[in-house]
């Protein structure tokens, strides 16, 4: 979303969108060398801010990228950027790049990391998809294995997810299911995935090769607090085809139902009771909890 009045924070300084620039020698641009977080805020509160900041520091540490600001300063940078844009509801993209360096791969030629905060509005899916459910297809692009780049790292190198998204859109679907190297379900291109069968909720384990989403964790806790049985287990495409309900979770997507997967109707083709209950409870939670902005 472009807004001529948008203020972007770069290394502690606010710039109008048209003046918000990074160097062409930034290794985040040249090599995808950096990490990021997507963060939502609702009703003047940032949802799960500490958890998102914890994860970006963990991602940075995993790729040997030192962030020279504190956890508290990073939280404040997010809040300050939202305030500068006078927003109460929206989405933050927090990016930490390796910084400016030479044209070689070595990260040690980058003198200092760059911290970028963008606060704006976002609508990932139209409202009718939350009422009726998404269409999903299986993508041939696999999730990278743990010995390539840990799926726990939310890195700027998102090309495999982008290519999988291209496949899904080309097939007329809104989202694509990505498998791991064993052919089991890992996650979607930008969301985690759950199924309901005979009253039991299942989701792939972190070891399946996917990001341990913060909204995923919230959904797990909510489901258990509501009295549902929820297990983390290996999930195949067959399990999704024969599920009573399927839903996705993600910071931008929130909780959203699935109606069709690989041309198989999920359940009766409509959002099921468990999914609708979790959507409702999630909405209540985000509207009433989080770090106050103002």
pLDDT (tens digit per residue) in 183-235: 999 999 999 999 999 999 999 999 999 999 999 999 999 999 999 999 999 99
Domain of 244: which CATH number?
3.20.10.10
Q: Which pLDDT band holds residue 148 (cuts at 50, 70, 90)?
A: confident
Mean pLDDT of 106-111: 93
Q: Are residues 90 and 152 in the same domain?
A: no
Q: Which pLDDT band holds residue 4 (cuts at 50, 70, 90)?
A: low
On whether residue 142 sits in a domain, the answer given is yes
As for how many domains the chain has, the answer is: 2
Q: Are residues 144 and 91 in the same domain?
A: no
H-run or E-run covering 284: helix 273-288
On whether residue 278 sits in a domain, the answer given is yes
Mean pLDDT of the chain: 95
Q: Are residues 91 and 171 in the same domain?
A: no
Q: Which pLDDT band holds residue 10 (cuts at 50, 70, 90)?
A: very high
Active site residue 61: no
pLDDT tens-digit series, residues 47-89? 999 999 999 999 999 999 999 999 999 999 999 999 999 999 9
Report the C-alpha gap between 134 and 195 in whole angstroms: 14
| Active-site entry in 135, 154, 197, 284 | 154
Q: Are residues 63 and 116 in the same domain?
A: yes
Report the C-alpha gap between 239 and 196 in whole angstroms: 10
On whether residue 2 sits in a domain, the answer given is no
Q: Are residues 116 and 138 in the same domain?
A: no
Measured CA distances, 282 to 87, 90, 196, 285 (Å)? 21, 16, 17, 5
Is a pLDDT exceeding 90 seen at residue 112? yes
Q: Are residues 91 and 161 in the same domain?
A: no
What residue numbers bound the domain in which 148 lies? 127-288
Mean pLDDT of 166-178: 97
Q: Any residues with CB less than 8 A from the CB of 106 and at least 6 apart, and which?
A: none
Q: Which pLDDT band holds residue 1 (cuts at 50, 70, 90)?
A: very low
Q: At residue 43, what are phi and psi to the nearest 5 degrees?
A: 50, 40
Mean pLDDT of 112-129: 93
Q: Are residues 11 and 143 in the same domain?
A: no
Q: Which pLDDT band holds residue 3 (cuts at 50, 70, 90)?
A: low
Q: Are residues 241 and 277 in the same domain?
A: yes
pLDDT tens-digit series, residues 258-291? 999 999 999 999 999 999 999 999 999 999 999 9
Mean pLDDT of 232-250: 98
Is a pLDDT exceeding 80 seen at residue 19? yes
Q: Are residues 143 and 273 in the same domain?
A: yes
The pLDDT of residue 146: 85
On whether residue 169 sits in a domain, the answer given is yes
Scored b (16 or more CB within 10 A) or e, 43-67 reads: eebbbbbeebbebbbebbeebebeb
Q: Where are the alpha helices (DSSP H) in 12-126?
A: 27-31, 49-62, 71-84
Q: Are residues 278 and 174 in the same domain?
A: yes
Q: Are residues 174 and 282 in the same domain?
A: yes
Q: Are residues 86 and 131 in the same domain?
A: no
């Amino acid at each position: 979303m472009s807004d001529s009045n948008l203020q972007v924070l770069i290394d502690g300084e606010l710039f109008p969108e048209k003046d918000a620039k990074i160097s062409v020698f930034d290794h985040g641009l040249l090599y995808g060398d950096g990490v990021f977080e997507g963060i939502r805020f609702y009703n003047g509160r940032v949802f799960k801010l500490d958890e998102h900041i914890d994860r970006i520091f963990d991602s940075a540490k995993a790729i040997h990228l030192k962030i020279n600001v504190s956890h508290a300063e990073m939280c404040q940078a997010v809040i300050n950027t939202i305030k500068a844009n006078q927003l109460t509801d929206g989405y933050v993209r927090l990016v930490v790049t390796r910084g400016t360096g030479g044209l070689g791969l070595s990260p040690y030629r980058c003198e200092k990391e760059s911290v970028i905060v963008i606060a704006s509005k976002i609508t990932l899916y139209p409202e009718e998809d939350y009422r009726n459910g998404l269409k999903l297809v299986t993508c041939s692009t696999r999730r990278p294995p743990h010995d390539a780049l840990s799926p726990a790292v939310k890195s700027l190198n998102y090309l495999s997810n982008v290519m999988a998204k291209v496949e899904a859109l080309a097939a007329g679907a809104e989202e694509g299911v990505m498998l791991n190297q064993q052919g089991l379900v890992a996650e979607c291109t930008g969301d985690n995935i759950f199924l309901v069968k005979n009253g039991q909720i299942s989701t792939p384990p972190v070891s399946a090769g996917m990001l341990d989403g913060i909204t995923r964790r919230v959904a797990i806790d909510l489901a258990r607090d509501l009295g549902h049985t929820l297990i983390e287990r290996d999930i195949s495409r067959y399990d999704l085809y024969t599920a009573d309900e399927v839903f996705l979770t993600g910071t931008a997507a929130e909780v959203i139902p699935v109606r069709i997967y690989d041309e198989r109707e999920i359940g009766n083709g409509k959002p099921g009771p468990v999914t609708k209950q979790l959507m409702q409870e999630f909405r209540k939670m985000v509207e009433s909890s989080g770090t106050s902005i103002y």
